[in-house]
Amino acid sequence: MKEKKSSEDDPTIEFQDYLDESQLDAVMQLVTKDLSEPYSIDDGKPIGCVVCKIDQEEAIQNGEQRMMKTGYIGMLAVQSSYRRRGIGKSLVRKVLERMKAMKCESVMLETEMSNVTAQKLYQRSFGFIREEKLVRYYLNWGDAYRLRLWF
């Protein structure tokens, strides 16, 4: 049996942070092709991307209100011909490492209830938990789960 090659071990795939607007056209082509709603590059073309941000969220702890740093993953996309190679998992891992280093207390995201593959990735691979069901959350009236990972 052949050992499956991880995307992080593949020398033809480069992980790169967003640098400037010159990269937006290629990223937008990837996103609009693969979705209804830092990226990986192969031969100079984006093959995957993750869009995320860090926000302040109100929290109550020991009866007192405080602000908490929370990461948010808004989108993860990998070109269909590059799926099942661990690229999405590597992108999420890199984002989580960076958010943890930036002192986020948790990371949250939404995923369509019908997207079982994404749910498995986030829940089994990283330990996200279902926090809430969001009825008719998406423009196509699709329901979603809000998932959260606590550090």
Within a domain: 142: no
Q: Residue 29 sits in a domain of what CATH number?
A: 3.40.630.30
Within a domain: 46: yes
Within a domain: 123: no
**Which residues make beta-bridge pairs with 129?**
148
Distances from the Cα of 6 to the Cα of 10, 86, 120, 121, angstroms: 6, 6, 18, 15
Within a domain: 100: yes
Compute the C-alpha angle 35/51/119, nearest 5°: 60
CA distance 134 to 81: 31
Within a domain: 122: no
Within a domain: 73: yes
Whole-number pLDDT of residue 143: 97
Domain hosting 29: range is 7-106
Domain count, the chain: 1
Contact 13, 78 (CB under 8 A): no
Contact 104, 54 (CB under 8 A): yes
Q: Is the dihedral of CA 56, 95, 108, 52 positive or negative?
A: positive
Within a domain: 115: no
pLDDT of the chain, 151 residues: tens digit per residue = 334 445 566 677 777 777 777 877 776 676 665 444 444 555 667 788 888 899 999 988 889 999 999 999 998 989 899 999 999 999 999 999 999 999 999 999 999 999 999 999 999 999 999 999 999 998 889 999 999 999 9
Whole-number pLDDT of residue 37: 44
CA distance 20 to 130: 34
**Which residues make beta-bridge pairs with 41?**
14, 46
Within a domain: 150: no
